[in-house]
A and B are shown apart, each in its own frame.
Chain A
Amino acid sequence: MIQPSDDALLVLFANGDGQAARELTARLGPRTYAVALRVLGNRAEAEDVAQEAMMRLWRVAPKWEQGRAKVSTWLYRVTLNLCLDIKCRQRSVDLDAVPEPEDGGPSVADRLQDSSRMDALQGALMQLPERQRQAVVLRHIEELSNPEIAGIMDISVEAVESLTARGKRALTAALSGRRAELGYDND
């Protein structure tokens, strides 16, 4: 069965279809929240940003021009702008920002190790300059293409490549010396 596009779901939503709202929330809500969480490093702020970004999506739905832009690209852009607004107002680092692992997964020891690795990664991400962090999150965690990231961040593809390359180098440097602590010697 062919799934309706995000565009089509937005039209259905604007026409009052409640199922379209649920489908869009299921499709786009997690990614919006994930990006906000990785960029902000704070769960409460990320929730507020994700909710506000989705609210703007609901409000733009009746005026949405199909085919003008990808809904997900538009939403990533709104999300990053909202993150920037928050960062302009305050700077906070919450190394305990990563969601708890779901039950039924790896063993307790593995989960603890995964959790400490996620904490370490998030801590290192928070040390990056804002634009580098955004580019690295979109490229390496959201797995978007460089042209799509360029569209979201309103910069050239070359600038994206530069930001992600410098970001990765900085992350590697920030995490250096923590291999044993993070359990990579045992892998």
Chain B
Amino acid sequence: MTDDTDLEQMFAAARTQRDHLPDVLSARMLADAVQVQAEVLAPEPAARAGLWSQLRAGLGGWSGLSGLATACAAGVWIGLAPPDFLPDPVGLVYQQELEVDLIFGVDETGILTEDG
């Protein structure tokens, strides 16, 4: 019967082998370490500029962007409250619509009269 003493002897023998690391395995571990170190220490690639950043750059930066915003605001303001020396755009549109020649020069009133 194998007793505890025999088992302890077997464990002791196994312990003598626990510090063994095959050279090939050691080399594989170190190669991994070198690879990971290279990845960790490599500089981070510059982040790609977003759409807003690209648009801002295309318009000439913050100064270009502010100029564009000012021009837009001025356009809206002139549209809503034009200066006196400029024609009213709303009046121009309606005036053009009233002057549309519907039936080649025939008077609109005459047509209504003929129909009775």
Are B25 and A29 interface neighbours, CB within 8 A?
yes
Set of chain B residues within 8 Å of A120, measured between Cβ atoms: 10
Are B21 and A33 interface neighbours, CB within 8 A?
yes
Q: Which of B10, B20, B28, B30 is A99 in contact with, Cβ under 8 Å?
A: B20
| A118 to B17 Cα, complex, angstroms | 10
Are A51 and B25 interface neighbours, CB within 8 A?
yes
| A59 to B17 Cα, complex, angstroms | 28
Cβ proximity bits A102-129 to B, threshold 8 Å, 1 near / 0 not: 1000000000001001101100000000
In the complex, how many angstroms separate the beta carbon of A167 from the nearest chain B beta carbon? 10
What is the total number of residues of chain A having a CB less than 8 Å from a CB of chain B? 48
Q: Is A8 an interface residue (CB 8 A)?
A: no
Q: Which of B2, B9, B36, B40 is A55 in contact with, Cβ under 8 Å?
A: B36
With A21-B37, A55-B36: A184-B2 Cβ-Cβ less than 8 Å: yes
Interface positions of A from 65 to 116, Cβ below 8 Å from B? 98-99, 101-102, 114
In the complex, how many angstroms separate the beta carbon of A101 from the nearest chain B beta carbon? 8
Residues on B lying within 8 angstroms of A by beta carbon are 1-4, 6-7, 9-11, 13-15, 17-22, 24-26, 28-30, 32-34, 36-37, 40-41
